[in-house]
Amino acid sequence: MENSYISKRIASFGYAWNGIVAFVRSEPHARIHVLATIVVVAAACWYRITAPEWIWTILSIALVWTTEMLNTVVEKMMDHLSPQLHPQVKFIKDVAAGAVLVAAIAAAIIGAVIFIPHIF
């Protein structure tokens, strides 16, 4: 029984990884996030940001990725549940997209606070 429990936990990581890969392959915004993540991590390495700056950078990246992934889930669910146009579906999808925008703005501000002093 122990092996079954452990193998199920290991399999759950595989399912999660498959979800990330599917997200990146199917969503154009995900590929933009991959590029932005690579640029930000490269800049962080180049400027040798401090440990606290790394923490804020990683949290910002994770926040944007997480909100974008959840937004994608909301959009796909709503498209499946209500393929026809409906004002409530539009509202739900707009609010989910707004959450991504809030996260992206916060990440940009955090990035500016961290990187501007290193650049100038």
User: Would you say 47 is a known binding-site residue?
Assistant: no
| Sign, Cα dihedral of 73, 75, 80, 82 | positive
What amino acid positions are annotated as catalytic residues?
68
CA–CA distance, 8 with 10 (Å, rounded to integer) = 5
User: Would you say 5 is a known binding-site residue?
Assistant: no
Task: For residue 105, give Cα distances in angstroms to 52, 67, 111.
Answer: 20, 12, 10
User: Would you say 79 is a known binding-site residue?
Assistant: no
User: Would you say 53 is a known binding-site residue?
Assistant: no
Which residues belong to the annotated binding site for ATP? 15, 27, 75, 93-94
Which residues belong to the annotated binding site for substrate? 68
Which residues belong to the annotated binding site? 15, 27, 68, 75, 93-94
